[in-house]
Amino acid sequence: MTKNYLFSLLVSLLTTVVMGQVCPVPGNIAVTNITSNSAVINWTGSGTTQWEVYITPAGTAPPNSNTVGTIVTSNPYVVTNLIGCTSYNAYIKAVCSPTQSSNWSAAMSFSTVLGLNSDIPDLEACDASTTGFATFDLTSNNYAVLYGLNPSEYTVSYFETITDAYTNTSALASPTNYVNINQQQMQIYVRVENNTSGCFAIAYFYIRVTQAPHVYLPANGQICYNQANSTATPYTINTNLSGNGYTFQWSKDGVIIAGATGNSFSATTEGTYAVSVQNIITGCSAMASTLLTYSSAVNANATIDDQTITINTTGPGNYQYQIDNEPAQLSNTFENVALGFHSIAVIPVNSSCSPLYLTVQVTTPSAPRGQSTQTFTQGQTLANLVVNGQNIHWYANASAPGLTTTTETRLPLTTVLTHNTTYYASQTINDIESPDRLAVTVQLTALSNEDFNLNKLAYYPNPVTNSLTVSNPEAFTGITVSNLLGQIVFDRKVNSTLHEIDFSNLSKGIYMVRVSANDQSKTFKIIKE
């Protein structure tokens, strides 16, 4: 038996010496998918289905012929239970038979990464100004970031971009007082680095700006107070927020009002009222206040000037005015009101007083409107005069008691204009003629010959939208533009044969343009669209 054993051993040694090692050493070892506590190892080696894997921290002694590794039957092989941020050496040897295995491979070095908590909470802040920006303390996430790590062994830094985090550049200088640079929401990157090895890892979380409740209260309000019986009409302060999803707390002059926890509050006494509103879900809160004072009931009257109605109010507060159920307006004046009866409402703003209703009657129309002096050339007629109104009639005299359409003759529109003569215009609305008349004095300029300074005057476009161009062979000395009320809207001395007049900022309507050249002038009508 001893002879057989020695013979087998001799054959094995001769085979190894003559033919080389029968069980080859694994090659092309690679380590991939490295995490903080695992890695994947793969290698090459044919004809073998079993291997030994030996993992040891870097700096420790390599395995020898007596070292026993972990028997594995899969390639690649997942190594587990590693320590984060640690360097390792991996060795592989093939097991060719129960009695034969290869030598250990050369060491393959790799390092695990730093393991960070993957459940870092997002940070939220309330935006009371509704701008989308707020202030955050990023370091409040330090505990969650370092979860399980010794804070004294690691440095935590915050960055706005992932590139800066990996290169460790442009770390946020004031992470405890950081204002987001992107509205509403943005990512923040955190770098955790081991103070000794320099091993680091990158994680991220979101910061979000949550809008505070939008609470609007008027700056001032009035409680309607009746001095005769010392009673007040309650003024309801309304947040215009739903009663669901928010909590409310009202106070007066800085003192909390017990039980006042609704989305509105009815006040009967003067003072400064405030409400604190909190969003139940986000926790964001906001506050608004209003000053309430006493006010008496609305007192107002109407004055009528032709077709213009003016409402006069007394007492404190602001009002809106409404005629015939049309949209309310801030102005207390209604112009060009149709003849007949009208209902006008005087509506207190931010007040518990009720509206006051007035009934007024407009009985006669006003005189038409236009320039009191108009310049034309010889031969033109009343039809050339420019006035603004309805059903215009011309007279030779101003209106006076006893003068009516049956006692006074109207002038036909074909009446030729006479120099330095005043003509009088009325308008008729709903078969009622205005008792007042517009006086228009006519100035005529005669054409002496073909060389008259303004004989070849040109102007365009008409109608005009933005700019009116006037030109003349003789240089202009002055240009004036006025509306039909006689108000001058453009007046300029010029010395050119071509000039542009800016109409872009003028209201739509009819305008009179008067141009002068030397001692002569001419007026023409322009329509602004």
Which residues lie across from 206 on neighbouring strands? Answer: 187
Which carries the bigger pLDDT value, residue 408 or residue 425? 425
C-alpha pair distances (Å), 286 with each of 179, 184, 212? 20, 18, 6
Instruction: Kindly write down the DSSP assignment for every residue of 103-165, as one continuous string.
Output: PPPPPEEEEPPPP--S-PPPEEEEETTSSS--EE-GGGGHHHHTTTS-GGGEEEEEESSHHHH
pLDDT (mean) for 29-53: 91
The winner for highest mean pLDDT among 39-53, 218-232, 262-276, 421-435 is 262-276
Model confidence at 92: pLDDT above 60: yes
Question: Position of tokens 């872009």?
Answer: 504
Q: Is the pTM of this model over 0.85?
A: no
Instruction: Single out the residue of 216, 161, 215, 152 nearest to residue 191, CA to CA.
Output: 161
Which carries the bigger pLDDT value, residue 469 or residue 11? 469
Question: Position of tokens 């542009």?
Answer: 500
pLDDT of residue 455: 74
Strands 438-445, 373-377: pairing kind: parallel
E strand spans, 212-351: 220-226, 231-233, 235-238, 246-252, 255-256, 264-267, 271-279, 285-295, 299-305, 308-314, 318-323, 333-334, 340-349
Where does residue 466 fall: left (phi above 0), alpha (psi -120 to 50 degrees), or beta otherwise? Answer: alpha
Q: What is the pLDDT of residues 177-186, one digit of tens each?
A: 999 999 989 9
pLDDT (mean) for 453-463: 83
Q: What is the pLDDT of residues 93-123, one digit of tens each?
A: 999 998 899 999 999 999 998 888 888 999 9
Give the mean pLDDT of the chain. Answer: 87
pLDDT of residue 283: 87
Q: What is the pLDDT of residues 64-89, one digit of tens each?
A: 989 999 999 999 999 999 988 889 99
pLDDT of residue 452: 54
pLDDT (mean) for 428-446: 85
Which carries the bigger pLDDT value, residue 17 or residue 121? 121
Model confidence at 2: pLDDT above 50: no
Which carries the bigger pLDDT value, residue 261 or residue 494? 261
Model confidence at 62: pLDDT above 90: yes
Model confidence at 1: pLDDT above 50: no
**CA torsion sign, 56 to 57 to 63 to 66?**
negative
Q: What is the pLDDT of residues 255-314, one digit of tens each?
A: 999 999 999 999 999 999 999 999 998 888 999 999 999 998 899 999 988 788 999 998
Which carries the bigger pLDDT value, residue 219 or residue 520? 219
The kind and range of the H/E element at 15 are helix 2-19
* Percent of the chain surpassing pLDDT 70: 92
Q: What angle do CA 518, 523, 529 make, to 5 degrees?
A: 130
Model confidence at 8: pLDDT above 50: no
pLDDT of residue 446: 64
pLDDT of residue 509: 84
Which carries the bigger pLDDT value, residue 474 or residue 264? 264
Q: Do residues 320 and 249 make contact, with C-beta atoms less than 8 angstroms apart?
A: no
